Structure 1
Amino acid sequence: MKIAFCLYKYFPFGGLQRDFLRVALACQARDHAIRVYTLEWRGDIPAGFEVILVPVRGLTNLRRYQRFSGWVASHLAAHPVHRVVGFNKMPGLDVYFAADSCFEEKARTQRGSLYRLSARYRHFSAYERAVFGREAQVEILILSPLQERLFQTYHGTPVERFHLLPPGISPDRRAPPDAAVIRSSVRSEFGLAGDQFLLLQLGSGFRTKGLDRSLKALAALPPALRARCRLFAIGDDDPRFFQGQARLLGVAELVRILPGRSDIPRVLLGADLLLHPAYNENTGTVLLEALVAGLPVLTTSVCGYAHYVVEADAGVVIDEPFMQDSLDRALLGMLDDESARRRWQANGLAFAEVADIYANAERAADVILK
């Protein structure tokens, strides 16, 4: 079979992009040909992939996305394939991998009524209906039962079109036998003393992931404890706003904002706590990556995968509605309680041994190819 994958941008460190690559490689491993339509590709191209950089321009993203969909439809008409799989919502798909949360729900609960008169709303609402509308024929690979219910609420999507997938955690995120040696190496590389805490925040899209909340929580720690902390935020995003916020909060010397990097499994082993106080998050793969590395997690309940933190008893989940004071107190409590951190670490490692969290790409390929 020939399978076309569509996504607006590919770069190595995005969660959606990593999901795409794993699924595409799983299909290729079953001897199917892979074509990719994208506006931008950063990083190496896997052997055997046909990557087509769609040559459209536009003054706004909306215009580029509209032209992208039109160009791809024309190209597919001239060069047909057996399946069209999307990782962004758009018309013309056979299968959609639901890496993004329900746009309609956010537009109606987090925005004012005037927003629904905007061109942006009309565009993204129409593209979401093209996938989830009652009359659409798209098969949907869903990652969160909560998101499935939201899509059904706003679009009336028939339940039989949803295919719930397990998380797709790469086995290389699990703590290896020499984890202690790697931890020492990472901390030495970053210049961390034995009594210092490395607080880690991972993921592109710093605003959505709640980096501003993490900076406030760091600033709220008692001075002696705060001086022992270092907060590293790693992701593909513009750091300037958050660097300014850190200066205003008086914690700039404790914060490093780094671009995406390929050795995240090592960095997870060198950290003491994962901070992920997201404003919204369809899944939150990084939460599970931390758990299986033995890294305690502090996150918010809006994340689709936050329930795994509770089930594994491997950290703390802040309930909604979010209160900054709750995050501040939770961070202080976690740093003050060494025995709890050791328990959370052990629980995360035990969870990694038994949880069904590794087969996402294979299950997705089953649906795409059936």
Structure 2
Amino acid sequence: MRIVVAVFQLTALGGKERDCLATARCLADRGHEVIVLTTAVADGVSGPFRIVLLPVKGSTNHSRNASFARDVLAQRQSAKADVLVAFDRVPGADFFFAADHTYTLRYKGWSAWLLPRRRMMLAIERGLFDAAARTRIFFLTARQRDEFLDAYGFDPARGAVLPLILHEERYAAAAQASDRAVVRQRLGVPEAAVMALCLGIPARRKGFDRAMEAIVAHPNIHLVLAGSSDRWVAPRVKQLKLQDRVHILPYGENVMDLLTAADIFLHPAREEAAGIVIGEALLAGAPVIVSSVCGYAPEVARSGAGIVLPEPFRIEALRDAIGEVTRELPTFRQLAAAESARLQQTRGHWLRFIADRVEEGAVTG
């Protein structure tokens, strides 16, 4: 089959972009001709597929998104593709990978209809989910699916919830992770300290500020903040007098090395449709403390390999959770190790799930 995969950009390789490239590789490895449509690509991005760059049209984000959707449909027609899989909102796509929350949660009230940007973004999304649409949807979690169902009331048969997403390179990196003691020594974390880790961008959305405030009450904890260069982070560390216990790392450090070296992974995020890093932490055998807004929080609750913080968020709850996990660290690490072993058995399931349904969809139309 000839399959078109569309994503707006491949320069900042966040979760959605990595998921897109992994899907394209999987489909190509199964013998399909895969064309990836995008507007920009980072150096070094390649694979067993062809990348076609589309022009960026429009002076605003919403006009560029609308133009991209139109151009993708035109390219699909000219390429005579059998299937179109979209990782950004493209009404008329055969499949849509829903990488974030519905716009209806963000754009509410009169401004959703009076402001051109919001009106257009909602219209684009509605083109995928209203009753007349035939697009089949891949959801990250059941909670995310239910949010879209509440907003649009589409036929539930059009949606499918993916297995937990973990990328192949994370499995490989976990198997080759550096020695814990070596990583901790390089970071400047004392041997007797408990190492907590926060990972992701942007820092405030991922709850870095919450983690910093919570460890003030735990003098034996050293906190590693990895992935964010937000300007407010360093001044906040100084304000809390945590300069000796907080270690700030730029994006690019080996994620699995850090997770393997950590005693606790902290993810008190304010917003997270799924949170692939939660699965990565469990794969590394690190206990997780996570806010309940995260889509993958139920994985932590099910495995027992950590604590899920209730909403509304309270800093006292995070402090108490850190204390509990620290006191019972051997037990939580044992549960995290068991979950890591289980995840090894599910390697590649999410990609096979997508590929099977794309192939079935091409046959059944």
**So what's the TM-score if we normalise by structure 2?**
0.89
Matched, 1:365 2:355: yes
1:255 Cα deviation after fit: 3.4
Residues 110-164 of structure 1, C-alpha deviations (whole Å, 9 max, x = no match): xx65455322321221122121212111011122111111211110110110122
The 1:55–1:114 alpha-carbon spacing in structure 2 relative to 1, beyond 3 Å, is closer
Identify the range of structure 1 (79-88 vs 201-210) with the bigger mean alpha-carbon deviation: 201-210
Q: Which amino acid aligns with 1:308?
A: E
Residue 323 of structure 1 is matched in structure 2 by 314
- Larger RCO: 1 or 2 (CA < 8 Å, sep 6+): 1
Which stretch shows the higher mean deviation, 239-248 or 309-318?
A: 239-248
Greater alpha carbon shift after TM alignment, 254-263 vs 54-63: 254-263
- 2:93 is equivalent to residue 125 of structure 1: no
| Equivalent AA in structure 2 for residue 141 of structure 1 | F
Deviation of 1:357 after TM superposition, in Å, equals 4.5
SS in 1 for 2:330: helix
Q: TM-score, normalised by structure 1?
A: 0.87
CA distance in 2, matches of 1:272, 1:27: 37
- Write the letter of the residue equivalent to 2:222: C
Q: Percent identity?
A: 30
Aligned positions of 1:73-152 closer than 5 A = 73-108=73-108, 113-114=110-111, 117-152=114-149
- 1:281 alignment counterpart: 272
Aligned to 1:169: 166
1:353 aligns with 2:341: yes
> Is this contact kept in 1: 2:3–2:34, CA < 8 A?
yes
**Counterpart-to-counterpart distance in 2, 1:141 and 1:54:** 24
Partner of 1:20: 20
Judged with a 3 Å threshold, the aligned counterparts in structure 2 of structure 1 residues 178 and 164 are, in CA distance, closer, same or farther, namely closer
- CA change 1:116–1:247 in 2 (3 A) is farther
CA distance in 1, matches of 2:338, 2:168: 14
Does 2:196 match 1:199? Answer: yes
Choose 117-126 or 92-101, whichever is displaced more.
117-126
Q: Secondary structure at the match of 2:224?
A: strand
Secondary structure of the equivalent of 1:207? coil
Instruction: Give the structure 2 partner of residue 344 of structure 1.
Output: 332
Alpha carbons 2:200, 2:206 under 8 Å: kept: yes
Separation in 2, partners of 1:107, 1:5? 28
Could you give the per-residue CA deviations for residues 284-313 of structure 1, whole angstroms, max 9, x where no partner exists? 111111112110101111111111111111
Q: CA deviation digits over 1:259-290, x for unaligned, max 9?
A: 43262122211112111111121111111111
Instruction: State the Cα distance separating 1:315 from its structure 2 match.
Output: 0.7
Q: Contact 1:173 / 1:293 at 8 angstroms: preserved in 2?
A: no
Q: CA RMSD in A?
A: 2.5
Taking structure 1 as reference, are residues 40 and 10 closer, same or farther at Cα in structure 2, changes over 3 Å only?
Answer: same
Structure 1 contact 19–361 (Cα < 8 Å) conserved: no
Deviation per residue, 1:325-363 (Å, 9 max, x gap): 22233223333x1xx222111112212333574310111
| CA distance in structure 2 between the aligned counterparts of 1:134 and 1:313, rounded to whole angstroms | 40
Alpha-carbon distance between aligned partners in 2 of 1:86 and 1:221, rounded to the nearest angstrom: 46
Mapped to 1, the partners of 2:315 and 2:117 lie a distance apart of 30
Q: 1:205 to 1:185 in 2, by over 3 A?
A: same
Unaligned segments of structure 1, at least 5 residues: none
For residue 210 of structure 1, what is the aligned residue in structure 2? Answer: 207
For residue 192 of structure 1, what is the amino acid of its counterpart? V
Alignment of 1:214-363 (within 5 A): 214-218=211-215, 220-222=216-218, 224-225=219-220, 228-234=221-227, 238-252=229-243, 254-261=245-252, 263-335=254-326, 337=327, 340-355=328-343, 357-358=346-347, 359-363=349-353
| Offset of residue 213 of structure 1 | 1.9
Is the 2:89–2:128 contact (alpha carbons within 8 Å) kept by the matching residues of 1?
A: yes
Equivalent position amino acid for 2:223 in 1: R
Residue deviations 1:60-83 (CA, integer Å, cap 9, x gap): 322222222233233333333111
Kindly state the Cα deviation for residue 102 of structure 1 after the two structures are TM-superposed: 2.1
Q: In 2, distance between residues paired with 1:176 and 1:65?
A: 37
Which residue identity is paired with 2:355?
A: A
Q: 1:38: how far off?
A: 1.6
Measured in 2, the distance between the counterparts of 1:37 and 1:177 equals 33
Q: Distance in 1 between matches of 2:59 and 2:247?
A: 33
Task: List gaps (5 residues or longer) in structure 2.
Answer: 361-365
In 2, the alpha carbon distance for the partners of 1:63 and 1:94 equals: 22
